[in-house]
């Protein structure tokens, strides 16, 4: 039996072993998946941190949330202003979904992002000597790095992960 894109993502995200939150939201009507990423970090020291509304955040621990949008690029034209709302916006090929190589590359690259971002966030919050109010922490996704990883995976992994309703 062929594994669907949603089954692959559900299983793969659970297997990443991320100690924060990874939630997969499937909007069947819009034919999108949203991978919500939540880091929960204990704040040490006195930091001046602004939340999304621009207010000083005194929460402890701090939740840092970002998301990746997976969308049907055969039916939807992604509004470029939507890109700012997500770490990455990645299309899939309608009912054909993704190649398995793309799925494996996605999970591998996501794990790299999660590990490096957790360390960067800990350093950011643990450094009392920085002028923290001048710093801006955000996750980084490189489309070029991701596509290169997909290319390498395509050499050794075959198969598809179809979108199934």
Query: Are the C-beta atoms of 63 and 39 separated by less than 8 Å?
Result: yes
Helix (H) / strand (E) element for 67: namely: strand 62-72
- pLDDT 10s digits, 45-96: 555 555 555 555 556 677 788 999 999 999 867 665 567 789 999 999 999 9
- The pTM score is 0.84
Q: Are the CB atoms for 66 and 23 separated by under 8 Å?
A: no
The whole-angstrom distance between residue 99's C-alpha and the CA centroid of its chain comes to: 19
pLDDT digits (tens, 9 = 90+) for 139-161: 889 999 999 999 999 999 999 99
Domains of the chain: residue spans and CATH? 5-161 (3.40.50.11250)
**Phi, psi (deg, nearest 5) at residue 89:** -125, 115
What is the number of residues in the chain?
Answer: 165
């Amino acid at each position: 039996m062929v594994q669907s894109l949603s089954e692959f993502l559900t299983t793969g995200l659970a297997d990443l072993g991320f100690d924060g939150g990874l939630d997969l939201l499937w909007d069947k009507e819009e034919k999108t998946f949203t991978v919500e990423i939540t880091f929960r970090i204990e704040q040490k020291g006195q930091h001046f941190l602004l939340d999304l509304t621009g207010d000083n955040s005194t929460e402890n621990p701090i939740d840092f949330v970002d998301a990746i949008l997976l969308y049907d690029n055969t039916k939807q034209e992604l509004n470029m202003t939507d890109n700012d709302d997500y770490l990455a916006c990645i299309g899939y090929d309608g009912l054909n979904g993704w190649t398995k190589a793309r799925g494996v590359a996605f999970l591998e690259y996501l794990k790299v992002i999660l590990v490096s971002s957790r360390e960067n966030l800990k350093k950011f919050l643990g450094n009392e000597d920085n002028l923290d109010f001048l710093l801006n922490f955000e996750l980084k996704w490189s489309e070029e790095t991701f596509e290169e990883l997909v290319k390498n995976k395509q050499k050794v992994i075959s198969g598809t992960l179809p979108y199934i309703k």
